[in-house]
Amino acid sequence: MPSLLIRNIQSLVLAETSPRPFVAGRDMQALPLLEDAYLLIEGGRFHAFGPMAECPERAGETIDAGGGFVFPSWCDSHTHLVFAASREMEFVDRIKGLSYEEIARRGGGILNSARRLRETPEEELLAAALKRIREIEALGTGAVEIKSGYGLTVESEWKMLRVIQRLKEKTTLPIKATFLGAHALPPEYSQHREGYIRLIIDEMLPRIAGEGLADYIDAFCEKGFFTVAETEQLMEAGVRYGMKAKVHVNQFNSLGAIPACVRQGAISVDHLEVVSDEDIESLKGSHTMSTLLPSAPFFLNDAYQPARRLIDAGLPVALATDYNPGSTPSGKMQFVVSLACIKCGMLPEEAIYAATLNGARAMELEQEYGSIAVGKVANFFITPPIPSVAYLPYAFGSDLVERAFLKGEMVVDKR
């Protein structure tokens, strides 16, 4: 792979000389910015960076950033971007007054997506998901997690995870796969919850683990979906197959799932619109990342995540899109960063850490992605000239990802 030199960077964002695995609490305010910088890439990895005054002279490809900022690519650690069809009619139903939970109780929501997915051939799912991958690459995403959870049968969950596996082969974007068999109780088990949990544990998990199709296990722990006890049972089963937990918790209610996930050593707890003081206490000193998905309450008109309480308690937080057809039909991390600032009270510096390094940590990719450090994979984007780092969340309607790179190769140029 050839070398690439980027010159005249107005500000190189989150370049680290001593890479950290994540950043928590107060430290999230101190975002390193190197003004008037160069960045050198060799073999698809960051090789050197420094002030323009020390820029090496070299042959090979050179790009002039023209006064733009360089950011490490977004690390989107929570998506459901394999799905069969959009659900804009439910969006209209919500405008007319139905809630997300009411729509779900009537057999819409996740079950609607499951019906559509079951009847959609694998090739079609793959083509649609690949389009979404190209879309998020162009929006500056450089690492992503994708969940199953619209199959809800042995065959269809397997089909979804196969699609995710095949996506990995078609892109340089690193992808982590999460098995979310416990996304909703399928109607055929409505009178037989325990039977569905057994199906997940005894049939789905061994097959999926046997083929190495999932890195993590997830469950939607919420009233009307899965209980804390069921979630614990699933996490324990996942761990037996080497799958750590990344769990949907506290979207509408605080049920005690967060302390349970921490006890199980979950990689992350995700959503967190509703958080109690006990939840925060349980997260302190743990290895569990709090992952906030503010475009879900934006789209569902719910309360936003209390990011300030988490960060002020000294915790790290990550930000992700939740890209899915029901609660967040958007994979735009820049908008998530804006919402985190406008609606969750995060400072631009905190939101940028949360959307990059801490997101990488929430996928166990922090050694290779999430910041600009020598030896890490060269996934980054260049903005047009902007006045400051705060301009990125401020200009919420502008696409500031002008040129995006994966492994040092430009994948989109919007100039």
The least distance separating ligand NIG from the CB of residue 113, rounded to whole angstroms, comes to 5
Q: Is 163 exposed, middle or buried (0-12, 13-18, 19+ CB in 10 A)?
A: buried
Cα 324-327-331 angle, rounded to 5 deg: 45
Alpha-carbon dihedral angle through residues 253, 256, 260, 261, given to the nearest 10 degrees: 20
**Comparison of 78 and 403: residue with beta carbon closer to ligand NIG:** 78
The least distance separating Fe ion from the CB of residue 276, rounded to whole angstroms, comes to 21
> Which among Fe ion, ligand NIG, none contacts residue 369 (Cβ within 5 to 8 A by kind)?
none
> Which among Fe ion, ligand NIG, none contacts residue 251 (Cβ within 5 to 8 A by kind)?
ligand NIG
Does 232 bind Fe ion (CB under 5 A)? Our answer is no
The least distance separating ligand NIG from the CB of residue 268, rounded to whole angstroms, comes to 13
Candidates 130, 120, 119, 138; CA nearest to 400 is 138
**Comparison of 178 and 324: residue with beta carbon closer to ligand NIG:** 324
Candidates 132, 176, 213, 222; CA nearest to 359 is 176
Does 322 bind Fe ion (CB under 5 A)? Our answer is yes
Residues in the chain: 415
Of all residues in this chain, which one has the CB nearest to ligand NIG in the complex? 326
The least distance separating Fe ion from the CB of residue 157, rounded to whole angstroms, comes to 16
DSSP label of 57: P
**Comparison of 332 and 403: residue with beta carbon closer to Fe ion:** 332
Residue 48: C-alpha distances to residues 33, 38, 184, 213 (Å): 15, 8, 48, 36
Half-sphere exposure in the Cβ direction for 405 (13 Å, CA): 26
**Comparison of 79 and 334: residue with beta carbon closer to ligand NIG:** 79
Cα–Cα distance, 373 to 81 (Å, whole number): 29
3-state helix, strand, coil split of the chain in percent (to 5) is 35, 25, 40
The least distance separating ligand NIG from the CB of residue 329, rounded to whole angstroms, comes to 10
Of all residues in this chain, which one has the CB nearest to Fe ion in the complex? 322
Catalog residues that contact ligand NIG under the rule CB under 6 A: 80, 109-110, 113, 220, 248, 251, 296, 322, 324-327
Span near Fe ion by CB under 5 A; candidates 61-69, 208-216, 321-329, 388-396: 321-329
How many residues of this chain interact with Fe ion, rule: CB under 5 A? 1
The least distance separating ligand NIG from the CB of residue 277, rounded to whole angstroms, comes to 23
Alpha-carbon dihedral angle through residues 391, 396, 399, 403, given to the nearest 10 degrees: 40
The least distance separating ligand NIG from the CB of residue 327, rounded to whole angstroms, comes to 3
Alpha-carbon dihedral angle through residues 155, 158, 160, 166, given to the nearest 10 degrees: -130
**Comparison of 29 and 99: residue with beta carbon closer to Fe ion:** 99
Candidates 175, 188, 187; CA nearest to 148 is 175
Does 218 bind Fe ion (CB under 5 A)? Our answer is no
> Which among Fe ion, ligand NIG, none contacts residue 132 (Cβ within 5 to 8 A by kind)?
none
Site residues, Fe ion (CB under 5 A): 322
